[in-house]
Structure 1
Amino acid sequence: MNVWLFLCSVEVSILAAVSTDTFDSKLDEDWKNWKSQHGNQYTKDEESDRRMIWEDNMRYIEQHNLEHSLGKRTSKLGMNKFGDLTNEEFNKLMNGHRRIEAVNMTEIEADETDESSASKESHFELRTATVDWRREGLVTPVKNQGQCSSSWAFSATGSIEGQWAKRHGNLVSLSEQNLIDCGHKPRCSGYSAPHAFETVIQFQGINSAETYPYIGKEFTMMKIAMDM
């Protein structure tokens, strides 16, 4: 029995050593800082798995940013609080948006074949043009919907925020929670941006995010008079 216990402990030690050797020691401090920044705590088993995923994501970010410095990419990446998730895990956790049926692309392609050369050139320029609305002061900072699947509400507030700022010169972060709570039936998922616009019209406005903060879940309460 003692021999068997000894052999088991040796095997566990070897596996632990092998697991440790798979990590990049140069990233030890970055890993600790990242966990501290986002308050992440793991069991021993979770720690190894999450560290490996995190390092894979770090390498991907470094490679992407290297290609950006060489002119091969138009954007840069950075590590965030989702860095210990795989793409599959992130999509399952965060991407709960229900797509509305898109316009039939074959109809668009058919229409384009009948366009004149000048019209085609004009449409090409329009499609390839870019505008950074952040520099125009029409976009609020990035928001986090959590696990509420309320992307429809964020799409709506983003659209209204930009139009409000363009017209009044005042960028105000609007309340997604207001839309979730004050629709036909309070809910996180199942609605779309057009539904949200209808709610804003019905109640003749929408609260700001400051007066009606986002809690990321369905919270049934008496409808509030909106301040805009």
Structure 2
Amino acid sequence: MNTRKEQLAAFNRLLDIMDELREKCPWDKKQTLESLRHLTIEETYELTDAILDNDLQEIKKELGDVLLHIVFYAKIGSEKKAFDIADVANSISDKLIDRHPHIYGDVKVENEADVKRNWENLKLKEGKTSVLEGVPKSLPAVVKASRIQEKVAGVGFDWEKPEQVWEKVQEELTELNEEIKAGNTKNTEKEFGDVLFSMINYARFINVNPENALEKTNKKFINRFQYLEKEAKNLNKKLSDMTLAEMDVFWEASKKLYK
């Protein structure tokens, strides 16, 4: 591993490159905060893919891409005379110190739950009117539901036991089934949302990240289905020409390969 001096030198090198690109490269000169936004989102998703694949070399690469974007935004901020990379670093450092009084102050905590509770209470003292203000509106729904539940739990609005949450899941499933039977489309959508919300809440109680769990299932399904497509192609058949029973033979085989 690199020394702190080497790490700082590497970061300084990146800052120098960013300065040069912003001055000389036609594409880099053209970029704005808004034009980089969708690219940043894309890079973040690529990083999360690498994390789920546990590909450390790819994680290193994608972290570099994300870091470039942070440096790029800071460079634009300095050009607008609003902030620079030092302001960005100092801002998060100040926040971390303020939000960790159990490390940098005299507050005592017993566990992780105490830390989260203090964190949310400190946010309110900083001027926020709601613990939910920090949940981005553009988050994907599954992630947003998870963050909402974590934040309200941080101020004590929570179930006491996993069994209570599971009962809530069962209750919501019953209500969904009733609306489906009644043929009420509008209420069916509402109750389906309630089922998902309660399942995401239950995931928290059993220490499962719902977004990661669903994405792993997505990857598993893709691998199995692509295996099915490959085997059908080996037989010179199209899936659309095969019966479900024929496809199921390969699907069952795929389960042994992709678990």
Which structure has more relative contact order (CA 8 Å, sep 6+)? It is: 1
Structure holding more helix per residue: 2
Same fold per superposition (TM over 0.5): no
